[in-house]
Amino acid sequence: MNPIVELVDDSFIFIMAISAVLLIGVTAAMIYFVFRYSEKNNPKPDQSITGSTTLEILWTVIPLILVLAMFFYGYAGFKEMRNVPPDAMVVKVTGKMWFWHFEYDNKRTSDTLLYLPEGKNVKFLLESADVNHSFYVPAFRVKEDCVPGRTNYMWFNATKAGTYDIECAEYCGMNHSYMLGKVIIVPEKEFLEWVSKVEKTDTVKTADSLKSINIKTDSLKTTQVKTDTTKAPVKKDSVKTTPKDSLDRVKKPK
């Protein structure tokens, strides 16, 4: 199981459980009082009740302990999110109006579709070519902004083979809602084959061959959809290959 997903979901359930108890308690007490002490049932109000130091202390201290526990849960999950395992492979993510551009260690690049090897830890270096974007993969419970002029980072474990949505979560203009993508996690062997495939392979062919990979679904995904339903501007040549050692490789503009 993916540690980050587990930590986020656990903190969410923890906070929600306490909140539900508090909400039901407050609402039930309120409704009960309104009926029990209605004009009819209680014609004479008790004017002597104006406060209680004991109660004030109780409902200051108990919530304080509860929220500190919530803070700690959130902190623990956050620590995991920021603690990138040293063995993580690195993918550079660049947000551009309005698509995602990925660059692997060996300079292999790809647009919109992010291929990752199953079971590997992946660190993402997040940059923007124009305005603020936010790289969001809901199935892995992580997002981080892509801000021009700086490099942010995040990581997750590509736990299980499958296809997962990528969304831009920071408003970036007209086609913000079409700035989508897919994380495609494949077995490591297939990934290595793909990532090292350069030069000799026709780009369109590469894309086609990858689409034929049988993608399994799994319980991790809350928002799984078929690849073809995405409205992201996936171009026919969306998976570009850049020759690894090519001397005339155009440097990306800063």
Partner 1 sequence: MANGSLANEVSYLEYQGKHKGIAGWLLTVDHKRIGLMYLMAIMVFFFVAMTLGVLMRLEMLSPGQTIMKPQTYNSVFTLHGVIMVFLFIIPAIPAVFGNFILPIQLGAKDVAFPRLNLFTWYLYMTGATLAIVSLFTGGGAADTGWTFYVPYSIRSAQNVTMTTLAAFILGFSTIVTGLNFIVTIHRLRAPGMTWFRMPLFAWGLYATSWIQVLATPVIGITLVLIMLERFLGIGVFDPALGGDPILYQHLFWIYSHPAVYIMILPAMGIVSEILPTFARKDIFGYKQIAISSLGIALIGYLVWGHHMFVSGMSDTSRIIFSLLTFLVAIPTGVKIFNWVATLYKGSIKFSAPLYYVLAFIFIFSIGGLTGLVLGALATDIHVTDTYFVVAHFHYVMFGGMGLMFFATMHYWFPKMFGKMYNEKVAVIACTVIVIGFNMLYFPFFILGYMGMPRRYYDYLPQFQGWHVLSTVGSWILVGGIVFMFGNLLYALLKGPKASMNPWGGTTLEWKVPSPPPLENFDEIPIVTGGPYVHDKSTYIMHPSREKIHTNGGAKSAKEEAAL
Answer for the pair 183, 214: CB distance below 8 angstroms, yes or no. Answer: no
CB-wise, 214 or 229, nearer to partner 1?
A: 229
Q: Is 156 in the site for partner 1 (CB under 8 A)?
A: no
Binders of partner 1 among 83-122, rule CB under 8 A? none
Q: What are the tokens at 31?
A: 């409704």
Least distance (Å) from partner 1 to the CB of residue 134?
Answer: 6
Q: Using CA atoms, how far apart are residues 196 and 33, in angstroms rounded to an integer?
A: 70
> What whole-number distance in Å separates Cα of residue 110 and Cα of residue 200?
16
- Rounded Cα distance, 211 and 57, in Å: 62
Alpha carbons within 13 angstroms on the beta-carbon side of residue 107 total 12
Q: Which is nearer to partner 1, 34 or 250 (CB)?
A: 34
Closest by CA position to 133, among listed 181, 98, 88, 90: 98
16-55 binders of partner 1 (CB under 8 A) = 16, 19, 22-23, 26-27, 29-31, 33-34, 37-39, 42-47, 49-52, 55
For partner 1, the binding residues in 166-205 under the rule CB under 8 A are 167-178, 180
Q: Which of residues 124-153 bind partner 1 (CB under 8 A)?
A: 130-132, 134, 136, 138-139, 141-145, 147-150, 152
For the CB of residue 192, give the shortest distance to partner 1 in the complex, in Å: 29
Find the part of the chain contacting partner 1 (CB under 8 A) among 88-96, 188-196, 203-211, 228-236. Answer: 228-236
Interhelix angle 3-36/53-82, rounded to 10 degrees, is 160
